[in-house]
A and B are shown apart, each in its own frame.
Chain A
Amino acid sequence: MRKFGYKTRSMAVTGKKLLEVEQLEVVFETRDGEVKAVNKLDFSMQSGETLAIVGESGSGKSQTALAIMKLLAANGEARGAARFYGRNLLEMTATEINEVRGEHIAMIFQDPTSSLNPYMTIEEQMLEVLMRHRKMSRKDARLRVLEMLTQVDIPDPQRRIRQYPHEYSGGMQQRVLIAMGLLCQPELLIADEPTTALDVTVQDQIKRLMRELKEKFNTSILLITHDLGVVAGLADKVLVMYAGQLVESAPVDEIFYRPRHPYTAALLKAVPRLDQVGDYDMHPIPGNPPNLLNLPKGCPFRNRCEMAFDACKQMPQVREVVPGHRLRCFLDGDALK
């Protein structure tokens, strides 16, 4: 039934990497010229892993996710490769990618309210996924949907399934979207700022839910966020982006306890922390993020970097400092202590 030789569960046993992104570039044609939102990005994900892509606005983190799903705006173009179990998603036709979306790769977005169809009941929009991808009967699909809603702690799903999105709170809507994303048990879940639009207490609930579900279903998660606190609680590996480029990538503990890029270190310091008693100071990064239309030559962070020196006028290449720890900086981060 799957035209491209995909069998839902057979993909994992091929031994190929879940996701391999190679030299990914996302370019937008704008009135003011060409904007490179993502610049020669390389990364890969193993099955079962959670990778967090961290960056501030304009860093290219969301465009990376959208490019993988072939959801770029009309004036955007993705170059390079994004291989999902060996098959390049970027070269797929519309029909092919539609088979992958929802079935093998699901995505949840920042704003749950605008991700749900306001004219359809929760039931209708959730059934659609299973009837479309799994060709399930209404009755079977309904049972599965109810089961999934229970998994994400929607109280009284029998009743709530018949309601419309506006009858749900923001946190509940995000739970529904997570449930919907996991209906087909996708191999990869892309979560683009899944907690940003929610209240802090609800953020915490959603984070816990994601961690639980990841263990239960062994879903790999590509987490896109600006919130280092969320990253600390969810990620196995972290990739830090700045001005469309990878600046550092490493296992989560390495990034948080032994950051090597001055930007990563500065970003960690800039987060106000509630656990540090008596420390009432804020530690900003000086200057402003660069304009993508007019990037300075060399390292894009050098204007804001405390450690910048002459060599930074040239672009540093990404290198592996220690196994598993990639860095785009002429220094190796030892001076950051």
Chain B
Amino acid sequence: MSDAGKFILRVQDLQVYYPVETGTLFKRQTTMLKALNGVSFEMAPGESLGIVGESGCGKSTLARAILGLQQPTSGRVLWQSEPLHEMDATTLREKRKELQIIFQDPTASLNPRLKIGEIIAEPLHNFYPRMDKLQVEERVKGMMQLVGLLPNMLNRYPHEFSGGQCQRVGIARALILNPKLVVCDEPVSSLDVSIQAQIVNLLKNLQKKLSLSLIFIAHDLSVVKSISERVMVMYLGKVMELAPREEIYTRPRHPYTSDLMRAVPIPDPEVERNKMDIVTYGDTPSPMNPPSGCPFRTRCPWARKRCAEDVPILRRVGGEGKVACHYADEIELPE
């Protein structure tokens, strides 16, 4: 099979810059905020990819670009081999059926004046205005059942639901058009721990059942562990590491991945008391003024001269995964 057919989504050297006004009142300057700075990856149909990074790493911009909601500064997004951002409006609208999104804040992303049934049916009205009323209702009810909502809740309003239930509505709305790719932008970050696990398990089951391609965005590595077959770690608009989950969780190769992993507190007092070493120093630098060379070098204990000079490329260092670190094969990361 050719590469083109093997992948449903290909992102090639994607860059998204936002102009930002800086300086004083009389000395306005426009600086470029490099939200995405050369991101490339591929996704196979039915694959589940986790994208992890802290605030300002570009993960949400990437989500928007993949869905065609954000025009890239340069680079391409190939959706089933066709460049998404070069399509005309009619073609893009057709493609939108195949590309759906689930948002972070389930209550804010549902119209409070619409009934749950209307919210879930809206994409159908949009794309199939002539669809029979009964048929719509049947589809909506079937979808509600699929996401674990009782079909008789159809006539209730979002405020009558808990956060977890609202997120189920959001999932039903995203799936009703039978999309091929669903991007979940921090879908559980605002939910309680006990509900988080419910939603992750639901998405995991639906992904398998409907053979969806799924992108799951999160700000820490613990949530994507269960759902993602491959995990991509981002920092300041760049990919630091991209590896199958078996590899990334047992043997992270980038110092940042390792820090991100060790920073997540473990609910075990003994383990926490014995965690002596300081994980990461300092703060993430501003994306308006990222460091030269490797973006992580200002916080990396292994940084050397070369890290300030050359930008490390994403490359294979043993194993299946790729890592963007000059010294990935030399350094020994802590357990």
B34 close to A (CB within 8 Å): no
- How many residues does chain B have at the interface if contact means C-beta atoms less than 8 Å apart? 47
| Binary CB contact string for chain A from 199 to 238 against chain B (1 if under 8 A, 0 otherwise) | 1111111011000000000000000001111111100000
Contact B163 A57 (CB under 8 A): yes
CA distance A286 to B201 in the complex (A): 11
CA distance A280 to B231 in the complex (A): 13
Contact A272 B226 (CB under 8 A): yes
Q: How many A-B contacts at CB < 8 Å in the complex?
A: 138
Contact A252 B269 (CB under 8 A): yes
Greatest chain A CB density within 10 A among B204, B245, B269, B283 is at B269
| Binary CB contact string for chain B from 198 to 224 against chain A (1 if under 8 A, 0 otherwise) | 101100100000000000000111110
B24 close to A (CB within 8 Å): no
User: Which of A96-104, A263-271, A320-328 forms contacts with chain B?
Assistant: A263-271
Contact B278 A232 (CB under 8 A): no
Partner of B165, one of A169, A266, A285, A288: A288
Partner of A284, one of B198, B250, B269, B279: B198
Greatest chain B CB density within 10 A among A199, A228, A285 is at A199
CB contact under 8 A between A274 and B221, given known A200-B264, A232-B267, A253-B269: yes
CB distance from A293 to the nearest CB of B (A): 11
CB-nearest residue of chain B relative to A168?
B283
Contact B197 A272 (CB under 8 A): yes
Partner of B197, one of A170, A277, A280, A282: A282
Dominant SS at the B interface? Answer: helix
CB distance from A76 to the nearest CB of B (A): 21
A172 close to B (CB within 8 Å): yes
Contact A231 B279 (CB under 8 A): no
CA distance A228 to B250 in the complex (A): 23
CB contact under 8 A between A201 and B280, given known A252-B269, A275-B271: yes
Partner of B219, one of A199, A257, A271, A281: A199
Contact A280 B192 (CB under 8 A): no
> Hey, which chain B residues are within 8 Å of A291, CB to CB?
162
> Hey, which chain A residues are within 8 Å of B268, CB to CB?
232, 256, 275
CB distance from A155 to the nearest CB of B (A): 9
> Which residues of B154-196 have CB atoms within 8 Å of chain A's CB atoms?
162-165, 192-196
CA distance A93 to B198 in the complex (A): 46
CB distance from A114 to the nearest CB of B (A): 16
> Hey, which chain B residues are within 8 Å of A286, CB to CB?
198
CA distance A291 to B267 in the complex (A): 28
Contact A270 B54 (CB under 8 A): no
A300 close to B (CB within 8 Å): no
CB-nearest residue of chain A relative to B269?
A232
> Hey, which chain A residues are within 8 Å of B204, CB to CB?
282
B266 close to A (CB within 8 Å): yes
Contact B164 A288 (CB under 8 A): yes
A194 close to B (CB within 8 Å): no
Partner of B194, one of A267, A274, A280, A281: A267
> Hey, which chain B residues are within 8 Å of A132, CB to CB?
none
CB contact under 8 A between A274 and B266, given known A288-B164, A288-B195: yes
B225 close to A (CB within 8 Å): yes
B259 close to A (CB within 8 Å): yes
CA distance A229 to B270 in the complex (A): 11
Contact A274 B225 (CB under 8 A): yes
Contact A56 B267 (CB under 8 A): no
> Which residues of A10-61 have CB atoms within 8 Å of chain B's CB atoms?
56-57
CA distance A234 to B250 in the complex (A): 27
CA distance A116 to B263 in the complex (A): 26
CB-nearest residue of chain A relative to B265?
A229
CB-nearest residue of chain B relative to A227?
B265
B261 close to A (CB within 8 Å): yes
B272 close to A (CB within 8 Å): yes
B65 close to A (CB within 8 Å): no
- Contacts A204-B278, A204-B280, A232-B269 supplied; 18 other A-B pairs, CB < 8 Å: A199-B219, A200-B260, A202-B54, A204-B263, A226-B192, A229-B265, A230-B265, A231-B267, A233-B265, A272-B222, A273-B222, A274-B266, A275-B268, A283-B197, A284-B196, A288-B162, A289-B194, A291-B162
> Which 3 residue pairs of A and B lie closest in terms of their CB atoms, listed nearest first?
A229-B265, A284-B197, A233-B272
Residues of B at under 8 Å CB distance from A? Answer: 54-55, 162-165, 192-198, 200-201, 204, 219-223, 225-226, 245, 249-250, 259-273, 275, 278-280, 283-284
Residues of A at under 8 Å CB distance from B? Answer: 56-57, 169-172, 199-205, 207-208, 226-233, 252-253, 256-257, 266-268, 270-275, 277, 280-286, 288-289, 291
* CB<8 Å pairs between A and B, sample of 30: A56-B192, A169-B283, A170-B55, A170-B283, A200-B220, A201-B259, A202-B54, A202-B280, A204-B265, A229-B272, A232-B266, A233-B269, A233-B272, A233-B273, A266-B194, A270-B193, A270-B197, A271-B222, A272-B196, A272-B222, A274-B222, A274-B261, A275-B266, A275-B268, A282-B204, A282-B226, A284-B198, A284-B201, A285-B198, A289-B192
